[in-house]
Amino acid sequence: MNSFSFKLKPWLAVLLLSQISTHTQAADIITQPSTSEDTAPGKKQNDQPESSTHPVDIFELPEVEVIGNTPLGTTGLESKKISGNVQSLEDEEITRHEAFGLTDFMNRRLESVNINDTQNNPYQPDISYRGFTASPLLGTPIGLTVYQDGVRVNEPFGDTVNWDLIPQVAIASMEVVPGSNPLFGLNTLGGALSLRTKSGFSHPGFRAQASGGSYDRQNYQAEYGGSKSNFDWYIAGNVFDDKGWRPYSPTNVNQTFGKIGWENDRTDVDLSFSFADNNMQGVGPTPQNLLQQNWNAIYTAPDVTKNTLYFFNLKGSHKLTDELQLTGNVYNRNSSSNSLNSNTECNPCIIDTNASFQSTQTKQNGTGVNLQLTSDYKIHAHDNQLVVGGGYNVGDTHYSVATQDAIFTPTFYEVAVNPLTTTVKINGQSTYSNIFATNTFSVFDWLHANASLNWMQAQVQTIDQIGTELNGKDTYARVNPSAGLTFNPLDAFSLKTPLKELTTYFNYNEGFRAPTAVELSCANPDAPCTLPNSFVSDPPLKAVVSHTLEVGARGKFNEALKWNFALYQTQNTNDILFVNSPGSVINGYFRNVGGTQRQGAELGLSGLALKSLNWYLSYGFVDATYQTTEALSNGLPLPSTNTVAPGSKIPSIPQNTFKFGADYEVFHNWFFGGDLQYVSSQYARGDDQNIHPQIPDYKVVNLNARYVVTKNIELFAMGRNIFDNHYASFGQLGQNFFQNNQATTFMGPGAPATGYAGIRVHWD
């Protein structure tokens, strides 16, 4: 039976009680007229500058009505000028879903997004969008970029994304930009996720919540924002503890975010700081026959990841004139990741022998400067926005690998028997430079054309600290274009229809991904490596280039019914995959494949009806296939090589996703909601020939409720996977070394039914 515990952290209790005391006293005088001390000249009652109605950084407004067209943001475009199915959401939506983490929210709410739960840890999933992946695991082909306040947070060494280092509690808004948009730089093959954090101007007041539930999960969050004159401040913290629903899978996440800023009618400067200190354990996929006997079963343990982060970002924007604005940032992002992975490839494996550990240490330091100049000068009375800019970003990495012998205990938990021996020690440097220009011209009020160019150069260098085999230096450069049109027929023809808004669009763009140090150092089939742990001297790889074509439409009848529809196709040349060596499910190498394709459709409906009914429905179709004949190996003994024909489905990409959710005030101050995710079947990783049974489709239903006790206090509860479905979101072909090296499918099981409850307080 699941256990339920609820303990208030001492530091949060003190903060909460002090705020309750302070605001209880303030509530008695809140109706009194303001004095000159309460409202300074040029200020509103909420202590926000009058210029905040048209701030230098428009995204610091609580309600965002424009779409960011570059990672730096501060300026943007009206949605009717955006030629793509951009999904834009704000923090209220995350709160309404009672999401535990950013990836949990994305999986439940965003169109064409699903999770491959490879590590079985809530902060370490693979996120797939339109068949492209952002993952924390080295060796996964990365096709998505993630930005936090204009800084690319894909790690320098392998372009991986550590979701646990992103402070969800501080997210003010997020945008999912589809396609190979060149303005979002390296790795934007299938899309980009752009996150903007809160400030004291945009989110004043105090908010805190505490929750707990199944498997001793405890979560505490607190945030406080405010402003005085032209200054503002914001600070937030998040503590997450969970023992895990499977053996040896606890999670401890500690995050802090702070921001101070200064703003007047022409200048806005913000300095933010992110800190994280996290310890996460996951037990990964398990042979399907073991899961049939016990849904909690594991294969081997432990697998431990410890991440720390220190991240400073200075961002500023200045209006040179009413139509000309300069924006830039300077940042330093220092992270450390230590992992300990249980590993085995023995014949046969027995208790008290034949195990090993591999320990990795990765220290990464990213620094950079990015600038952009935005011009909104009209051309012959036609709206025109021109943005030019560029950046220089350097990532330094110190990477080492050590191994040690171990033995298996009866519970498949490994215990070391020898000291660690360092086998790999390298320094790496990734330098990324770019220069871009993008222009959006309004031919008429109802027809808008945009075009972009981005020259990118990536230089990857490795220096061997033990010998010379890993020394290398490779440079990749390319100019990537984009062009699109948006057409608003209701404005063009003054049509009288039930539709209030209608926008149609067309867009073509190209993206670029340079091989990472991980891939360049492990690309020789004659000298395979064990990911993510070993490297050898290898030949260079070609860069991946993506070509995306998208057409679509969006509109609304009223606030109760908004809709969007899109068709897209992305073709990749020289895709990079990790291929297992014949007869080994552990060792392998990276190689280019000729071409792959992702094409599909998206449909979204949403609205606010009956004053308090928030609802959404979405459907995503992704057809991901190989486009050339390839000889790939899945590592199983027979056959040693698999010939993949054009049209074969790419594994780990389900073809259909369906999502529905709603939240409604059933009774006065009582809100009840829920959501459903349906994910169709998918081929297991390694089954590129599509000859094995697929991982079955699955459905997950979640419920949540909240009660507004007073205007400052809420109680909330949620149930996850309430029908206790046994499902798997990930599969991989492999060998069970505990059962005579039997070839089987390893599955990533989904969590069983769980329940949580908590309290939330806020003063705005």
**Taking residues 86-112, what's their average pLDDT?**
94
d(CA 34, CA 624): 61
The residue behind tokens 């009848």 is 557
Q: Is the pLDDT of residue 120 over 80?
A: yes
Contact yes or no for 337/158 (Cβ under 8 A): no
Percent of the chain with pLDDT over 90: 67
- The DSSP element (H or E) to which 621 belongs, if any, is strand 613-626
Read off the pLDDT band of 393 (50, 70, 90): very high
d(CA 170, CA 47): 21
Contact yes or no for 507/83 (Cβ under 8 A): yes
Q: Is the pLDDT of residue 30 over 70?
A: no
Q: Is the pLDDT of residue 398 over 70?
A: yes
SS3 content of the chain, % helix, strand, coil (to 5): 10, 55, 35
> In this structure, what token pair is assigned to residue 388?
């030019």
Other C-beta atoms within 10 Å of 109: how many? 22
The pLDDT, as a whole number, for residue 539 is 52
**Taking residues 241-251, what's their average pLDDT?**
95
The pLDDT, as a whole number, for residue 583 is 63
Contact yes or no for 199/288 (Cβ under 8 A): no
**Residue 639, preceding peptide bond in cis (omega within 30° of 0):** yes
Read off the pLDDT band of 640 (50, 70, 90): low
Contact yes or no for 62/203 (Cβ under 8 A): yes
**Residue 525, preceding peptide bond in cis (omega within 30° of 0):** no
Residue-wise pLDDT tens digits, 507-557: 999 999 998 877 777 776 766 666 544 444 345 789 999 999 999 999 999
* 63 CB-near residues (< 8 Å, 6+ apart): 90
* 84 CB-near residues (< 8 Å, 6+ apart): 177, 178, 179, 181, 484, 505, 507, 550, 552, 566
Contact yes or no for 547/556 (Cβ under 8 A): no
Strands 144-148 and 191-197: parallel
Contact yes or no for 162/150 (Cβ under 8 A): no
- Which comes out higher in pLDDT, residue 221 or 416? 221
Helix/strand/coil for 5:
coil
The pLDDT, as a whole number, for residue 636 is 73
**Taking residues 1-17, what's their average pLDDT?**
38
> To the nearest whole number, what is the mean pLDDT of the chain?
87
| Residue whose C-alpha is closest to residue 250's, from 384, 120, 161 | 120
Residue-wise pLDDT tens digits, 434-481: 999 999 999 999 999 999 999 999 999 888 788 766 677 889 999 999
d(CA 156, CA 133): 16
d(CA 218, CA 211): 6
Domains in the chain, CATH or no CATH each: 10-763 (2.40.170.20)
**Taking residues 132-149, what's their average pLDDT?**
93
Other C-beta atoms within 10 Å of 385: how many? 21
- Which comes out higher in pLDDT, residue 117 or 660? 660
pTM over 0.75: yes
Residue-wise pLDDT tens digits, 574-620: 998 877 776 666 677 788 888 999 999 999 999 999 989 999 999 99
- Residue 156 is classified by DSSP as T
- Which comes out higher in pLDDT, residue 578 or 483? 483
d(CA 397, CA 155): 10
d(CA 600, CA 501): 25
Other C-beta atoms within 10 Å of 560: how many? 13
Percent of the chain with pLDDT over 70: 87
Residue-wise pLDDT tens digits, 55-90: 788 777 655 578 999 999 878 899 999 999 999 999
The beta strands (E) that lie in 51-121 are given as 66-67, 77-78, 87-90, 113-116
Number of residues in the chain = 764
Highest mean pLDDT: which of 15-19, 46-50, 180-184? 180-184
The residue behind tokens 């032209």 is 230
Highest mean pLDDT: which of 3-17, 34-48, 628-642? 628-642
d(CA 156, CA 332): 12
